[in-house]
Amino acid sequence: MINLAVKEIAYSWFRYVLTAFGLGLLIGVTLTMTGLVRGMMDDAISLIQGTHADLWVVQDDTMGPYAESSTLYDDLYRSIAGLPGVAEVSNVAYLTVQARYGGTDIRVLVAGFNHDRPGEPPYLVAGRPITKSHYEAIADTKTGLKVGDKIGIRRDEYTIVGLTNRMVSSGGDPVVFITMQDAQIVQFQKDNTSIYNDRNRLASNPQLNRPGIPGLLQAVTVSQLSNNKINAVLVRVSPGYDPSGVADNIRRWKHFKVYTYEQMTKILQEKVIVNALRQLGMFMGILAIVSTAIIALIIYTMTLGKIKEIAVLKLVGAKNSTIAGMILQEAWGLGLLGFIVGKVASTLWAPFFPKHIEFIFTDTIVAFLLTMLICTLSSIIGIRAALKVQPSSALGG
């Protein structure tokens, strides 16, 4: 028996390929959305993966610096370092800023770290590590910066001495690493006008500027201008210790919030980016529905276009399964061709997206199976239309 579906596709291949191409672009958008979701989930944890920390000590009743504001004193790490099971500790500070570069702005997450401690960029793809205490930076390649470039962050200018890769914030902003001292200045130091105004406000406060206590105003002023704050303390647990046990110990004795790697991952993926994921999920759902409707319409129209031939086929004894098989195979062909176009298109345009697009083989397989399922379901309308055709409609004019 000849394959009627293949024959019809070959006969009207240009229209078929054009239809599949249009459908493929739609599938490509859906695949890109899937890749975007995966990319966001991957981005969300790339920074915490890069820290190589086991525990995050953050301000009590907060979810840590990636989710909300968290402020701790920078000497806290000393007391944590002495607890059993703690191998290494390090202060970190994070701040999203618009860094100045070449007359334009780059949105980056500034991360302050201590050399050779948790929180340091895990590897470099160019340049060298930071060797000076101030004004040197390591940037993620996504910033577009090169070694030797200079960027302005708040009041100061920093020289890019090294480049790292795949270090982005949960929002997808590339990370610029600077020393902890610089990060504290960037995050907490005020501009000159603010300092001047704050000093005047303190001096005009009679509670703090008492004639009988001459050193009080100076002491308060110094304390107000100090930069002894950080966002979190990263802890690396000694081999053989359970991170959860060490975390419980820190919580019990220090009254801070402590998160393990798993808990921090959960916060980032289920709380920080959840709305973005839901939004993309909604878009993907709508796209799937639109795709289904379009495929159904295409197949229905294709079926209506050969209604007389179907009537003739039925009249001369073709089985319903033969006709349904022809429509189904055409739908599958459309899905297969469309998926190939969509996969190629999404792979080609993915690098041009500002956010990281991550294609996973499992997602591709699932997407392909879903496409074929949608094609199967969509063809039902066409098959119903074909099976409703009366053989008698081949007779008469």
Partner 1 sequence: MQLLQTSLDAPFAIQMENLVKTYGSGPTAVHAIRGVNLSVRPGEVVGLLGPSGSGKTTLLQCLGAIIDPTSGRIILDGELIYDNGWLIKDLRALRRDKIGFVFQAPYLIPFISVLDNVALLPMLAGQSNSNARQRALELLTVLEVSHRAHAKPFELSGGEQQRVAIARALANKPPFILADEPTAPLDSDRSLIVMNLLARLAAQYNTAIIVITHDDVIIPRFKRLYRLRDGIATEEQGEGLPFPDQPA
Looking at residue 68, what DSSP letter applies? S
Q: Does 111 interact with partner 1 (rule: CB under 8 A)?
A: no
Looking at residue 120, what DSSP letter applies? S
Please say whether the beta carbons of 385 and 297 come within 8 A: no
Piece of 62-70, 113-121, 241-249, 302-310 that binds partner 1 (CB under 8 A): 302-310
Piece of 8-16, 135-143, 218-226, 270-278 that binds partner 1 (CB under 8 A): 8-16
Please say whether the beta carbons of 138 and 124 come within 8 A: yes
Q: How far is Cα 186 from Cα 181, in angstroms, rounded to an integer?
A: 9
Q: Does 324 interact with partner 1 (rule: CB under 8 A)?
A: no
CA atoms within 13 Å, Cβ hemisphere of 251: 14
Query: What is the footprint of partner 1 within residues 218-247 (CB under 8 A)?
Result: none
Report, in Å, the least distance between residue 328 CB and partner 1.
16
Q: Does 395 interact with partner 1 (rule: CB under 8 A)?
A: yes
Q: Which of 312, 336, 340, 380 binds partner 1 (CB under 8 A)?
A: 312
Piece of 82-90, 192-200, 203-211, 314-322 that binds partner 1 (CB under 8 A): 314-322
Q: Does 322 interact with partner 1 (rule: CB under 8 A)?
A: yes
Q: Which of 82, 84, 104, 316 binds partner 1 (CB under 8 A)?
A: 316
Number of residues forming the site for partner 1 (CB under 8 A)? 27
Q: How far is Cα 346 from Cα 77, in angstroms, rounded to an integer?
A: 46
Q: Does 14 interact with partner 1 (rule: CB under 8 A)?
A: no
Q: Which two tokens stand for residue 260?
A: 């393990």
Report, in Å, the least distance between residue 39 CB and partner 1.
43
Q: How far is Cα 393 from Cα 397, in angstroms, rounded to an integer?
A: 9
Helix (H) or strand (E) holding 157: strand 156-164
Q: Does 391 interact with partner 1 (rule: CB under 8 A)?
A: yes
Q: Which of 115, 132, 308, 384 binds partner 1 (CB under 8 A)?
A: 308
Convert 62-96 to b/e letters by CB count within 10 Å (16 or more is b).
Answer: bbbbbbeebebebebbeebeeeebbebbbbbbbbe
Kindly list the residues in this chain that would bind partner 1 in the complex (CB under 8 A).
1-2, 4, 7-8, 10-12, 306, 308-309, 312-319, 322, 390-392, 394-397
